[in-house]
Amino acid sequence: MEKISVKVCLGTTCFVMGGSNLQELNDIIPRKYGDKVEVTGSNCLGLCSINWEYSKAPYVKVDDEVVHEATVEKVLSVIDKKLGI
């Protein structure tokens, strides 16, 4: 099975909008999913600038799926769904 790729946006907008809390994913994901999921940080994903006023930062991408207003719980539930857990 292909690994699920999780990209946590580390761009300024996402970081100040709460992305700093998402750093926990770097610990939780390997512990919970082993090598089935790969978590990396990413520069600005380009999503925050689409509509700044209504920005839903912080953003995380799980494969091609964009998680907006991301929280640790939200990201884990998207991963669980993909893995069929």
* CA pair distance 46, 34, nearest whole angstrom: 29
For the bound state, the minimum distance from the C-beta of residue 34 to ligand FES, rounded and expressed in Å, comes to 27
Q: Which of 59, 82, 55, 62 is nearest to 70 (CA)?
A: 59
Segment near ligand FES (CB under 6 A); pick from 12-20, 22-30, 62-70, 71-79 = 12-20
Which one among 25, 48, 76, 78 touches ligand FES, defined by CB under 6 A?
48
Binding status of residue 59 toward ligand FES by CB under 6 A:
yes
Binding status of residue 45 toward ligand FES by CB under 6 A:
yes
For the bound state, the minimum distance from the C-beta of residue 57 to ligand FES, rounded and expressed in Å, comes to 6
* CA pair distance 17, 68, nearest whole angstrom: 11
Binding status of residue 9 toward ligand FES by CB under 6 A:
yes
CB atoms within 10 A of CB 52: 9
Residues in contact with 49: Cβ distance below 8 Å, sequence separation at least 6, in sequence order: 13
> Would you tell me which residues interact with ligand FES (CB under 6 A)?
9, 11-14, 44-48, 57, 59
